[in-house]
């Protein structure tokens, strides 16, 4: 396991704050109230470990399958339904939504190989990620992948905690399945809008692994 590049600055700042807080605690508190100093140490250490863990990048055997749409994120499947597309597409689509808790791996991956036909950032609200309107009203970044004349849309959606969406893709770019598309910091959601004839391979409550689990085939 390694640390994702998006975490270098955050981890460095957190480590410095951990050191400063505990040095001050040692010099000004430990001699008079040692139990408080220990509580501060354990609490700040736990927070630092959590932050490091959040940016982890585990080694995995990614799935490369020409007819498959791979999970773009770790998390829990919370929505599988037919919806009217509200961006880029004008037809009806199957929406599959994956909720990402702060404990999940947060790197996002390309669900298919192909060309980036559309990549657009949208400002918005910070509703909780499982709110039905978060898909259309929250801050988000939408990407359309085109492969063999077929297209799918992936939305990286901010939530009540997630305040930064990172996306690496540009229109016209050729990408490979399971490679990195971006990163969402501190918990959120990813939506896929798939063609109606796509065969879904997951169900509500499933916990897919980004780059590994087959969400659908087409």
For the stretch 75-123, pLDDT in tens is: 999 999 999 998 999 999 999 999 998 889 989 999 999 999 999 998 8
Using the Cα atoms of residue 169, residue 160, residue 162 and residue 206 in order, give the sign of their dihedral. negative
pLDDT of residue 139: 84
SS3 at position 199? strand
Instruction: State the burial class of residue 32 (Cβ atoms within 10 Å of its Cβ: 0-12, 13-18, 19+).
Output: exposed
Annotated active-site residue in 97, 134, 142, 188? 188
pLDDT of residue 39: 95
Using the Cα atoms of residue 9, residue 127, residue 116 and residue 57 in order, give the sign of their dihedral. positive
Whole-prediction pTM value?
0.85
pLDDT of residue 158: 82
d(CA 185, CA 58): 17
Structure tokens at 211: 């780059």
Average pLDDT, whole number, for the chain?
Answer: 90
pLDDT of residue 134: 56
d(CA 98, CA 69): 14
For the stretch 39-74, pLDDT in tens is: 999 999 999 999 999 899 999 999 999 999 999 999
Q: Determine the length of the chain.
A: 218
**Residue 131 scores a pLDDT above 60:** no
Average pLDDT over residues 33-38: 92
pLDDT of residue 161: 62
**Residue 129 scores a pLDDT above 60:** no
**What percent of the chain is predicted at pLDDT more than 90?**
72
Average pLDDT over residues 184-190: 80
pLDDT of residue 65: 96
Where is average pLDDT lowest: 87-91, 132-136, 189-193? 132-136
Mark whether 113 is an active-site residue: no
């Amino acid at each position: 396991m390694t640390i994702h590049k998006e975490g270098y600055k955050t981890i460095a700042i957190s480590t410095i704050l951990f050191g400063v807080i505990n040095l001050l605690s040692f010099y000004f508190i430990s001699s008079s109230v040692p139990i408080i100093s220990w509580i501060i140490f354990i609490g700040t250490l736990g927070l630092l470990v959590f932050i490091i863990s959040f940016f982890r990048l585990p080694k995995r055997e990614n799935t490369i399958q020409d007819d498959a749409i791979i999970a773009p994120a770790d998390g829990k499947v919370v929505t599988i339904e037919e919806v009217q597309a509200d961006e880029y597409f004008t037809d009806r689509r199957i929406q599959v939504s994956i909720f990402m808790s702060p404990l999940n791996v947060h790197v996002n991956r390309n669900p298919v190989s192909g060309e980036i036909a559309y990549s657009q950032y949208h400002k918005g609200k910070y509703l909780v990620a499982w709110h039905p309107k978060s898909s259309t009203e929250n801050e988000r970044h939408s990407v359309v992948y085109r492969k063999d004349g077929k297209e799918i849309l992936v939305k990286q959606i901010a939530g009540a905690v997630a305040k930064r969406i990172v996306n690496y893709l540009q229109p016209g770019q050729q990408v490979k399945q399971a490679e990195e598309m971006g990163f969402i910091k501190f918990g959120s959601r990813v939506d896929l809008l798939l063609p109606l004839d796509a065969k879904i391979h997951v169900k509500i409550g499933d916990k897919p692994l980004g780059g590994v689990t087959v969400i659908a085939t087409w």
